[in-house]
């Protein structure tokens, strides 16, 4: 994954008096782990949604590497990155393994590669693959659901 760069990015939602994002400029290197902190309503989620083009900025530009993200199809862009939201966002009708496999399946990975990656990621987030791969989100604690969400974000 390439670095992400924001250049004077702003967004104001229709019917509001203040911008949700106001001239944000920053650069996040590809190997960097970033945590966005702030009070409720300060624009954390909005900023993330702009990176994968769920929201388009009113002004400014966002780059993935040297490519402005508007030059990348939204579908392709979303398949290249993952992020973890506050609520896990797991599909309730899918097992832990199926949740983690969503993006690798979309990318056309082989079944063996997908299974290997699922096991690797479950071990990474300290969930035993044999114990958790066949469980459903309703059978997990909130913290376990969050860890599966992290595994899914890292899967592709």
Give the domain ranges of the chain: 4-80, 96-154
CATH number of 4-80: 3.40.50.10420, 3.40.50.10320, 3.40.50.300, 3.50.50.60? 3.40.50.300
Pair 60, 6: CB distance under 8 Å: yes
The residues, any chain, with a CB within 8 Å of residue 57's CB and separated by 6 or more, are 9, 10, 11, 21, 50
List per-residue pLDDT tens for the chain, 156 residues long: 689 999 999 999 988 898 999 999 999 998 887 878 777 678 888 898 899 898 999 999 999 999 999 999 998 888 777 666 666 689 999 999 999 999 999 999 999 999 999 999 999 999 999 999 999 998 988 888 989 999 998 998
Backbone angles phi, psi at 32, to 5 degrees: -85, 140
pTM of this structure: 0.60
Starting at the edge strand that comes first in sequence, how are the strands of the sheet with 67-68 ordered? Answer: 21-28, 4-11, 59-64, 67-68
User: Nearest Cα to 42, choosing from 24, 55, 54, 26?
Assistant: 24
């Amino acid at each position: 994954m390439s670095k992400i760069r924001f250049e004077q990015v702003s967004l104001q939602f229709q019917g509001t008096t203040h911008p949700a994002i106001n001239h944000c400029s920053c650069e996040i290197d590809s190997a960097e782990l970033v945590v966005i902190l702030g009070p409720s309503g300060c624009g954390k989620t909005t900023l993330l949604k702009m990176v994968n083009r769920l929201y388009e900025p009113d002004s400014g530009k966002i780059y993935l590497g040297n490519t402005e993200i508007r030059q990348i199809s939204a579908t392709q862009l979303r398949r290249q990155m993952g992020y973890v939201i506050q609520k896990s966002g797991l599909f309730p009708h899918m097992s832990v393994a199926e949740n983690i496999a969503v993006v690798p399946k979309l990318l056309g990975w082989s079944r063996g590669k997908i299974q290997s990656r699922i096991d690797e990621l479950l071990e990474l987030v300290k969930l035993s693959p044999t114990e958790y791969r066949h469980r459903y989100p309703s059978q997990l604690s909130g913290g376990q659901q969050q860890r599966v969400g992290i595994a899914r974000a890292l899967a592709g």
